[in-house]
Amino acid sequence: MSARDLHGPGAPWGAATPGSKSNTDFKVVGRALRKLDGLSKATGAALYADDLQLPGMLHAKTLRSPHPHARVLRVDASRALALPGVLAVITGASMPIKYGVIPWTPDENALAVDKVRFIGDPVAAVAALDEDTANAALKLIEVEYQVLHAYLDPFEALVRHDPPIHEDRKEGNISKNVRLEFGAVDEALAGADVVVEDDYEFHGTTHAAIEPHCALASCSADGVLTLWSSTQITHYVHRALAKVLELPPHKIRVVQLNLGGAFGGKSDPFSLEFCVAKLALVTGRPVKMLWTREEVFYAHRGRHPMHLHYKSGATRDGKLTGVDAKILIDGGSYSSFGLVTTYYSGQLLTGPYHFPTYRFDSSRVFTNKPPCGPKRGHGSVQPRFAFEVQLDQLAERLALDPIEIRRRNFQGDFTRTVNGQRVTSNGFLQCLDAVERASGWKQRRGKLGRGRGLGVAGSMYISGTNYPVYPNEMPQAGIQLKLDRSGLVTVFTGGNDIGQGSNSMVAYVVAEELGLKLEQIRVVAADTDLCPVDLGAYSSRVTFMVGNAAIDACRKLRAQLVAAVAQKWACDERRVRLIDGLAIDIEDAARSMTSVEVFQLAESKFDTLGATGSYNTPKLGGDYRGGTIGASPAYSFTAHVVECEVDVETGRVSVVRAWIAHDCGRALNPMIVAGQMEGSAYMGLAEALLEHHQLNRFGLHSGPSLLDYRLPTSVDTPELHALIVESIDPEGPYGAKEAGEGPLHPSIPALSNAIHDALGIRLKHLPFTPGKVLAALRQEQALRPARPHAALDEGSR
């Protein structure tokens, strides 16, 4: 049963019609309010994992594999243990149980048991009095390796399986293959008026949150283990710890403090979390491990490199007839979320356009590189890049305006995709309108002179997934509220605020529902001892699911509050409105009481006040194996127009401006939504132009630092214009959907398309380095020595 079925009486915003576009009926929702934790962050008071120090705390460090692929024959830590100040050394043998965030593919060990699979794979961990001693101890641990053939090329891993990277896999080095076909694709393509077929390449990129991973564990005398970790999914860490440490879950408490960015890079359970926990158990003292930036690069879980082959057909008037995709995914050394990634690479492409027929064949292979995982726009940013460029190629062939071809293929709202996913609200057309208008598309495209261009792209993304990573019937999101006579509401949520503002979102919802002032609400989050289970910050699920759970809990309480007031006033409950820290009688302006009085009245009448609320998705998804992967209770939609300028002599592409229109359903706080949109576009453009998670010929990360992995600085970031489109989803909290990941997708293909508009070259291999631009320019000149309007272009400069 989904939460909205359990909602209490009526909506709190009185007479306003549900689904109203106007935000004026709300007191809290829809306003650009401050965040709960803004000032604590601005003043440096907010605590992050590494800010914690406990009495008697030890420092831990990790010994890592210098080989990309090797058998671990022997680990001898005796010399390290003999070093004064060293308290414990653990190895794979200390924690032999395998784990993995997806329960079907447990293939990781906290420390290598028999093999290492990439340079940087953890082998042993040391706890010592201080970091210097721990580092010195690492150098004293002797490890004997038998070096094995290293797979650095995914094409090789696809066909060669000996030696296997994971011995126990039936399919050799293939991590996952998904082949799904919807409708008769071959016929549809054969019958198309135009067909475009091409190859695209997406390189590896990583999250590079500014806070490096850190974990601190402490074990009480009665055996309760507490882990403070920079994780974005407390619940999965909790489960994994229980499994690997063989402890009952109720003996473990996992707490996430403030998190210095995540973007998917803190969603897996990580080696350091197990290591500090184990070391705390062994030594009986608190143990902290803070990874260096280099170690964060090895832990990776970043965007999968993909080789994508697409073939799309369309009718003469630009209607798609079929899309056929074949994708090779370089997974790196472990599964991580790879099963989901492989599905997402195909499943999430089926909007905002109607595909009459569709097929994808995606294979993820293991290679001896840092493991890939979920990064903002998990699994779907790469295919989106390829397809949106291909759509522009189709438009070019048909001499259609690129925005027009996208409009013509719009799937509509309240519909079903070719792969059986239910789509509810869909504001994609409004997104296209918004970027078209704001960018001056009609007047400017193709008329900016050689070297300057505009490009468009669209996308859709999930607002949470119907598929919790371990199947169960329990709620995906739970909330608990405590009200008391002080006038304070404490909200307990397992949701993880990773900087996206989810704690604030919960507070806004509660304030709206219970008619309170924001200052009357405190949020306690992401502490497994205190908070009900929530599945954490991934898949853009938090606003949708936790928001709905919060509404659910609030409406139960509101019923009590209103009943108590109505009884006191001896009036009909419908006359009582909770608003702005007051209860008012909507028919008698003179009659009101403060929320403190309301709470006390209700507490006297009903006993101690509290409520729980929850959310679970309705049954969704296609009726086939894997049909639930990619199913979401709602989808967000995005369109970008990117304006670029290319220096034809240096090949350097600069993005001048980007217009980002995003349908997030109702924007619960437009300022936070805009921040997500701008941050997404920035990150996408950075992937397109600067960032590259690259390995050298040794299989070693070629520059594991924030110097060599180039994050754009403030002078490298274009002017970003966030244009919010609010389609008001019938099932989202107040109609909200997601805003954290969707807005990244179109930025990359929109830039490629803009470069085409600027210079007539198609960049299909990321990243768009100046060298590639120059090569493409040369190639284009060689192919078309006498471009008909080249002279004209030059003349118009």
Partner 1 sequence: MTVFSFHINGDRVEVAAPDHWTLLEVLRYRLGLTGTKQGCDKGDCGACTVLVDGRPWLACLTLAKSVEGREITTIEGLMPAHRKSGGAGADPLQDAFDRCGALQCGFCQPGMILSARALLARNPRPTRVEIRHALSGNLCRCTGYTQIFEAVESAVAQACGTTTAARAWEAQRERACEREDTP
Partner 2 sequence: MLRLPKFELRSPRTLSEAIQLLEEAGPAAMVIAGGTDLVPNMKHELATPELLVSLAHIEELRGVRREPEGALAIGAMTSLAEVAASELVQRFAPALAQACSLVAGPQLRAMGTLGGNVLLDTRCQWFNQSYFWRQALGFCMKKDGSVCHVVQGGKNCVAAASNDTAPALMTLGARLELEGPEGSRTTAIDDFWVADGIVNKKLGASEILTRIVVPPTPRGHRGAYGKLRDRGSIDFPLLGVAVRLDVDETERVAHADVVVTALAAQPKRVAKVGDTLRGQTLGSPEFESAVLAVAELARKQCRPLPNIPGDADYRREMVPVYVKRTLFAAARGDGPVHHV
Which residues here bind partner 1, judged by CB under 8 A?
Answer: 21-22, 32, 34-35, 37-39, 41-48, 50-51, 53, 207-212, 258-263, 292-293, 434, 438, 498-501, 659, 670-675, 678-683, 705-707, 711, 713-715, 717, 719-724
CA distance 83 to 10: 68
Q: Does 743 bind ligand FES (CB under 6 A)?
A: no
Question: Considering only residues 493-552, where is the footprint of partner 2 by CB under 8 A?
Answer: none
Structure tokens at 267: 């969603």
Mode of pairing for the β-strands spanning 358-365 and 582-585: unpaired
Residue 163: is the preceding peptide bond cis (ω within 30°)?
A: yes
82 or 210: CB nearest partner 1: 210
Q: Does 700 bind partner 2 (CB under 8 A)?
A: yes
What radius of gyration do the chain's Cα atoms show? 27
DSSP secondary structure letter of residue 78: H
Closest distance to ligand FES from the beta carbon of 212 (Å): 9
Question: Considering only residues 91-150, where is the footprint of partner 2 by CB under 8 A?
Answer: 119, 131-132, 135
State the residue for tokens 């007839």: 321
What 708-717 contacts at long range (C-beta under 8 Å, 24+ apart), as own/partner pairs, is 709/206, 709/208, 709/297, 710/686, 711/208, 711/686, 712/682, 712/685, 712/686, 716/686, 716/690, 717/682, 717/685
Closest distance to partner 1 from the beta carbon of 322 (Å): 36
Reported as type and span, the H/E element at residue 639 is strand 635-646
Q: Does 45 bind ligand FES (CB under 6 A)?
A: no
Chain center to CA of 310: 25
Reported as type and span, the H/E element at residue 583 is strand 582-585
Residue 595 phi, psi (nearest 5): -65, -30
Identified binder of partner 2 from the candidate list 771, 779, 784, 787, rule CB under 8 A: 771
State the residue for tokens 């509050």: 561
CA distance 746 to 81: 53
Which of left, alpha, beta for 402 (phi over 0: left; psi -120 to 50: alpha)?
alpha
Binding track over 54-93 against partner 2, x by CB under 8 A: ----------x-xx--------------------------
Identified binder of partner 2 from the candidate list 25, 484, 716, 780, rule CB under 8 A: 716
Closest distance to partner 1 from the beta carbon of 500 (Å): 7
Binding track over 232-261 against ligand FES, x by CB under 6 A: -----------------------------x
- Closest-CB residue for ligand FES? 210
Closest distance to partner 2 from the beta carbon of 81 (Å): 21
302 or 351: CB nearest partner 1: 302
Neighbours of 55 (CB within 10 A): 7
Q: Does 698 bind partner 2 (CB under 8 A)?
A: yes
Closest distance to partner 1 from the beta carbon of 225 (Å): 24
Mode of pairing for the β-strands spanning 452-462 and 635-646: antiparallel
388 or 645: CB nearest partner 2: 645
Among candidates 389, 382, 384, 388, which has minimal Cα distance to 364? 382
Closest distance to partner 1 from the beta carbon of 648 (Å): 25
Q: Does 712 bind ligand FES (CB under 6 A)?
A: no
Closest distance to partner 1 from the beta carbon of 105 (Å): 29
Length of the chain: 797
- Interacting partner of 649 out of ligand FES, partner 1, partner 2, none (Cβ under 5 to 8 A depending on kind): partner 2
Which amino acid belongs to residue 385? F
174 or 435: CB nearest partner 1: 435
Contact 258, 37 (CB under 8 A): yes
Contact 782, 661 (CB under 8 A): no
Structure tokens at 337: 């979320």
- Interacting partner of 674 out of partner 2, partner 1, ligand FES, none (Cβ under 5 to 8 A depending on kind): partner 1
499 or 733: CB nearest ligand FES: 499
Quick one: which segment of 303-311, 399-407, 613-621, 642-650 binds partner 2 (CB under 8 A)?
A: 642-650
Size of the site for ligand FES (CB under 6 A): 3
Contact 206, 265 (CB under 8 A): yes
Identified binder of ligand FES from the candidate list 39, 47, 73, 210, rule CB under 6 A: 210
Contact 158, 312 (CB under 8 A): no
Question: Considering only residues 290-349, where is the footprint of partner 2 by CB under 8 A?
Answer: 290, 292-294
Side by side, the strands of the sheet bearing 452-462 are 452-462, 635-646, 653-663, 719-725
Identified binder of ligand FES from the candidate list 212, 402, 499, 742, rule CB under 6 A: 499
DSSP secondary structure letter of residue 524: E
Residues that bind partner 2 (CB under 8 A): 64, 66-67, 119, 131-132, 135, 290, 292-294, 647, 649-652, 654, 690, 698, 700-704, 707-708, 710, 712-716, 769-771, 774
Residues that bind ligand FES (CB under 6 A): 210, 261, 499
